[in-house]
Structure formats: C-alpha cells, structure tokens
C-alpha cells in the first residue's frame, strides 16, 4: 500500500485506460476521484466496487473537462472531499479522423479542448496545493501520437504533441518543489473501445478478431501485442513511487516499439 494517504484524481476514468490507472492507484492505497461520462447507475456501481475491493475512498464527479471552470472545480472537490490532491492523472481524450482539408472545425476545437487545454487547466489548478505539501505527481496521458504522426489525425496528433510539450515545461518549473511531471505515451491498448473496433473490422472484412488484431498492430508496432490498461496503471504507479522521484519531464512510450522505428 505504497500510496496510502495519497489522493488521486484520474480524468476519463470510468472505462479503459483511465479505469486501469484508477484501479492500480487504489490497489496501492490511494483514495481516488473518478471522472468521466456514462450511465449514472453503472458509474455508481463501479465506484462502490472499487471502494469495497481496495478499502479506499472513491468519489466521482462528472465535470465537463472542455470547460475550464469545471476542471478547476473537480480539483477543488477532490481537495475538499478527500483532503488533498497529491496525484493528478490527465487521461481524458476524444478522437476524430479525417484528412486535414476535410477536418471539421468543431471537431478540431473539441479535441484541442479535451485533449490539451484540459491538461493545462488541471495542472494549473492542482499545482498550488502540491507545492504547499512539497509533494506531487502529475501524469499526463499523451500517446505514441505525442511523438510521431499518423494520417487523418491532425487534431489528435497536434494535441498530444502539445501535451508532451506542456509536460516538459511544468517539469522544469517544478523540478525543486517535490513534484514530478511526466507523460505516458501508449501505443495500441486493448480497451473496450478498441475491442469494438476490432469486432467491427472483422465483420466488415469477413475475417475474425485475431486476424484484425494482427493487421491493426502491424500498421504501426514491431511487437504484435496490445498493451493493457493494467500495464498503463502499473507504469503510473511506478511514476508515483520513490524509485521515480528524479524521473521528470519525460515522455515514456509503452507502445511495442512503435516510436523506435
């Protein structure tokens, strides 16, 4: 229970990577503020299960992270209801694909708001409290697309490159305040969303899911293996540990070799 007594806010944590991180932090004893969209009943069930399984406090707030005042409010809520905010994981993200010349301006604005601006607003709100305690961990979930590009993802790639840049700036500024700031850069992660994509691809192509898995991975990764939300969670836990106290300002790929080639 290495994180007992710590409080973590994980955005976009009602499913997928964010939920994997929230579970991993709770397993180490951290109290957790969940955030995300979904069915209210399902979210309450999830919240209760996490609290029961790990014997920690788990709260939820459905803040719309595209709105700066709501980002500041969820940080304050974590501090007020759970006693502090020691670990901030900026994970929430959305995606849309289209060629640059056809990319809808509204989608550009929405992706930049959630994937990049919310990271800035979250850090801005959380840093004063972390400085006061001389301890903090900020983990921004970027992407392999924070380091390399793919076609038809102009907003996502621009936003994730921005996340990596913002991470480096914050890390430099906070280097002697007991606060580390790092970016995790996943490649393909087998989330429920990706599982649905694979099933749809198999249906359209008249193949099966294992065939489509291999094809999807071969497009970018030398290692033909998905990362899992649990593995992303394990990396987040390490970044919160004493063993990582001088690791800061780093984009850490967990991507089966994607950005190595």
Both tokens of 210, joined, read 């294992």
- Match domain 7-189+227-260 to its CATH number in 3.90.1150.10, 3.40.50.720, 3.40.50.1820, 3.40.50.300: 3.40.50.720
Residue whose tokens read 């394990």: 234
84 CB-near residues (< 8 Å, 6+ apart): 7, 78, 129, 133
What pLDDT, on the 0 to 100 scale, is given for residue 225? 96
Query: pLDDT by residue (tens digit) across 195-253?
Result: 999 999 999 999 999 999 999 999 999 999 999 999 999 999 999 999 999 999 999 99
Q: Taking the domains of the chain in order of start, what are their residue ranges? A: 7-189+227-260, 190-226
- What own/partner pairs with CB < 8 Å and gap ≥ 24 does 189-193 have? 189/16, 189/17, 189/226, 189/227, 189/228, 189/229, 189/232, 190/226, 190/227, 190/228, 190/229, 191/15, 191/16, 191/17, 191/229, 192/15, 192/16, 193/15, 193/16
- Contact between 150 and 103 under an 8 Å Cβ cutoff? The reply is no
The catalytic site residues sit at: 156
Q: Is 183 helix (H, G, I), strand (E, B) or coil?
A: strand
Section 32-36 average pLDDT? 98
Tens-digit pLDDT profile for residues 94-107: 999 999 999 999 99
Phi, psi (5° rounding) for residue 107? -70, -40
Summary mean pLDDT of the chain: 97
pLDDT at 1 over 80: no
């Amino acid at each position: 229970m290495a994180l007992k007594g710590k409080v973590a806010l994980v955005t976009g944590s009602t499913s997928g990577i964010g939920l994997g991180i929230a579970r991993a932090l709770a397993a180490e004893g951290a109290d957790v503020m969940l955030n995300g969209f979904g069915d209210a009943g399902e979210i309450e069930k999830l919240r209760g299960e996490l609290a029961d399984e790990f014997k920690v406090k788990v709260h939820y707030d459905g803040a719309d992270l595209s709105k700066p005042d709501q980002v500041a409010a969820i940080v304050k809520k974590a501090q007020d209801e759970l006693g502090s905010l020691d670990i901030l994981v900026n994970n929430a993200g959305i995606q849309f694909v289209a060629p640059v010349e056809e990319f809808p301006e509204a989608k550009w604005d929405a992706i930049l708001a959630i994937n990049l601006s919310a990271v800035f607003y979250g850090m801005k709100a959380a840093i004063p409290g972390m400085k006061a305690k001389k301890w903090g961990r900020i983990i921004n979930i970027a992407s392999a697309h924070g380091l390399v590009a793919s076609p038809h993802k102009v907003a996502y790639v621009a936003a994730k490159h921005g996340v990596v840049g913002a991470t480096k700036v914050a890390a430099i500024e906070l280097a002697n305040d007991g606060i580390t700031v790092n970016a995790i850069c996943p490649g393909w992660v087998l989330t429920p969303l990706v599982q649905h994509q694979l099933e749809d691809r198999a249906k359209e192509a008249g193949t099966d899911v294992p065939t489509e898995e291999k094809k999807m991975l071969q497009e970018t990764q030398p290692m033909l293996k998905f990362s899992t939300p649990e593995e992303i969670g394990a990396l987040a836990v390490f970044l919160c540990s004493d063993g990582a106290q001088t690791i800061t300002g780093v984009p850490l790929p967990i991507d089966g070799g994607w950005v190595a080639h």
